[in-house]
Structure 1
């Protein structure tokens, strides 16, 4: 009940929910092949990830439910968008690896939240870490570069002013693993602190 109140009363959480709710509009743009509109709209939705975090810190509305909801909304945005594109077989396997690690992060986040509610770990075990935030950035870059490919930009042209899809994907995978390992290490560290304090 407390977390439902946090969800409803926190404006940053509404921004997070809006990010998820508007993903079907992005899918509609892509299905109509309105790639410029889709690119701009995707950039706006990705920007709301920064916005909800900024508002939560500025107005002291950081909540456990918000720490779980925010990365979940990010993954809905990222993965619904990524699976819209068509990939070569080799690229598909790398994308699938990134997807698998991201889903492991979702499961781990859910476990950490459940253990926090049970008093087994403190709030530091919940939410995105630095590697996870950078991972999201490179996932956004990967999607933007894929939109640029769909818009007819050559790889040479993209490399002149942005990052190639393959490079963004590589760094996203690397940071996904770093984020997962960091969460595991942090989880056991804060759990020991809670156990000693009990």
Structure 2
């Protein structure tokens, strides 16, 4: 992988600026490319560690991806105050550093796919919804507000189940669905009937 990157940069020729000489043997930093559709195509935004400098960002893009930049803007954003999970006081999370670089070659983000089923979009939405509900329940519990499930809004699944139950109650006689079950269920039904007759006797 390192050889492939070195060859790719070598094919592009030498850099038009003076590169730094700082050697990083065990990198542990995380640089995130942030998508901003309203930004011009020749500007790119990155979330970088607080220890990153403008020269680090410029050399990072050139050495790893062969991307040349003409300007780098740096900004440290202060995080909002949050409440502690235990409910005892407030704290301010660590600030984040954002760098915006000007590219010599413009870059346009690809169009997001319309069909998100290959990425389990429905499963992700269900998981996020459950997490939000659990978070709200925890906050109410910390504030001393007890949950009353009977007062919650009835879900679509429970409404459908209620309609099916009402239909079953309106059926006269024995209900049958004409579905062939496993033979073991016939034995269980026969055993249940024998036990009920024995109790009546």
Higher relative contact order (CA 8 A, sep 6+): 1
Check whether TM > 0.5. Answer: no
Q: TM-score scaled to structure 2, two decimals?
A: 0.23
Of the two, which has the highest radius of gyration? 2
More strand by share: 2
